[in-house]
Amino acid sequence: MRTWRLGLVAVVTGVMVGSLMAQPPLPDPSISSLSDSDTSAIKAFVTYYANAMAAAKGSSDMVQDRTAVLKPVHDTSHPASAIFMDAYGNAINQTFSPLLGHSATALNAIITIAQVNDMSTQPALEQALTSTNASVRYWAAKGLGNILGQLSALPPAYRQAIHRLEAALAIEKDPVVKMGIADALSQASAPTAKSAALVVTALGAFASNYALVPPNNLPVCVGTIHALEAMLSKGAVLEPAVQEHAMQSLARIMSFTAQYYQAGLLNRTQALVAVDALRACGDAMDAISHSQKFSLTTLDAQTDKSQVLLTVNGLTGDTQEKGLLQELYPKVAAPVRISGKP
């Protein structure tokens, strides 16, 4: 435990704490009923670490505080009861939310809130979705996705969370945050057509920018494609125009990935991700078309590079020949070669 400075520290929670105040005892997460003293103990424990995070000198101290305050939640030897989690989550929501408004503490505060994994933290998570910090927005989306299952028991709260995530994805510019929001929406029990369409739009943006930064785009492409697959597996329906947009974007991502891979322009790590990207595109295209025409499960890291582009062209089409994609979706144009690249 780090040494506290002398004097009183006023923190953003509005609570005054003495610098030498002893750490409150760890509350019992397994309690099945809450007395007034239990509630007070939880509040004192959580407030202590919120104050500590606000007064911390650096990120390492904040991580220490985050680990300590989450110990009752993560203590598998004494699993937390539902009634404890509700009280604990409410305390976290109340005391750590003010830290979201300060650049020094916002990231560690939202990671703390997101890792509670209780629906009582919904207000703070939704608040953080509008942060100017991309990392804060990412963790807010991750936290909301993790509690969608709990929120499904409360339809108004569930619908509100979905709406906030959809609104955030519609305006998000950061690729990694887009992927995080898409993943969160994919955890809905019954993803909406709007959610799926927004994920398709995100894929379209990735496909449009792919030629600019292909190696960096690969992981977010794969993650977002998996999110779309998950939505489709849960019954999400794509309107015909959205299907065509999705297939066009997936074909572009698949073709561009194959071109870079086939030309040997990716390092070993990127090449491994590229193979995953090709498989993911094929599986998603199968899910959209309700066919088994595009699966590339036979690809592996040892696949002959000279065959990769040829195989993909047979599926997506190229500037000379139409592929299987155009047989199903005649309006979808064949991807073109990346200008100035392979």
Task: Calculate Rg over the CA atoms of the chain.
Answer: 24
pLDDT band at 94 (very low <50, low <70, confident <90, very high): very high
Residue 284's pLDDT is what? 97
- Inform me whether the pLDDT recorded for 104 exceeds 90: yes
Tokens 């539902």, residue located: 82
Residue 338's pLDDT is what? 79
Cα-based angle 153, 156, 157 (whole degrees, multiple of 5): 70
Residue 303's pLDDT is what? 83
How remote is the C-alpha of 70 from its chain's centroid? Answer: 20
Percent of the chain as helix, strand, coil, to the nearest 5: 65, 0, 35
Predicted confidence (pLDDT) per residue in 305-319, tens digit = 888 999 999 999 988
Contacts of 313 (CB under 8 A, 6+ apart): 255, 258, 321, 323
Predicted confidence (pLDDT) per residue in 250-291, tens digit = 999 999 999 999 888 888 888 889 999 999 999 999 999 999
How remote is the C-alpha of 125 from its chain's centroid? Answer: 13
- Inform me whether the pLDDT recorded for 301 exceeds 90: no
Higher pLDDT, 159 or 32: 159
Residue 214's pLDDT is what? 67
Contacts of 17 (CB under 8 A, 6+ apart): 8, 9, 11, 47, 48, 51
What mean pLDDT is predicted for residues 23-45?
Answer: 92
Predicted confidence (pLDDT) per residue in 125-141, tens digit = 999 999 999 999 999 99
Tokens 């569930």, residue located: 158
- Inform me whether the pLDDT recorded for 16 exceeds 90: no
Highest mean pLDDT of the ranges 15-19, 286-290, 299-303: 286-290
Tokens representing 276 are 């995953």
Predicted confidence (pLDDT) per residue in 187-196, tens digit = 999 999 999 9
Distance, CA of 57 to CA of 52 (rounded, Å): 10
- Inform me whether the pLDDT recorded for 180 exceeds 90: yes
Residue 41's pLDDT is what? 94
Residue 6's pLDDT is what? 25
Q: What average pLDDT does the chain have?
A: 89
pLDDT band at 111 (very low <50, low <70, confident <90, very high): very high
Amino acid at 319: T
Tokens representing 322 are 């139409």
**Residue 21 DSSP label:** P
pLDDT band at 21 (very low <50, low <70, confident <90, very high): low
Residue 337's pLDDT is what? 84
Instruction: HSE, CB side, 13 Å, CA atoms: give it for residue 269.
Output: 3
Predicted confidence (pLDDT) per residue in 217-250, tens digit = 789 999 999 999 999 999 999 999 999 999 999 9
Share of the chain above pLDDT 90, in %: 75
- Inform me whether the pLDDT recorded for 72 exceeds 50: yes
- Inform me whether the pLDDT recorded for 216 exceeds 50: yes
Residue 77's pLDDT is what? 79
Share of the chain above pLDDT 70, in %: 92
Predicted confidence (pLDDT) per residue in 52-68, tens digit = 999 998 999 999 999 99
Helix axes 59-74, 106-114, angle to 10 degrees: 10
Amino acid at 154: L
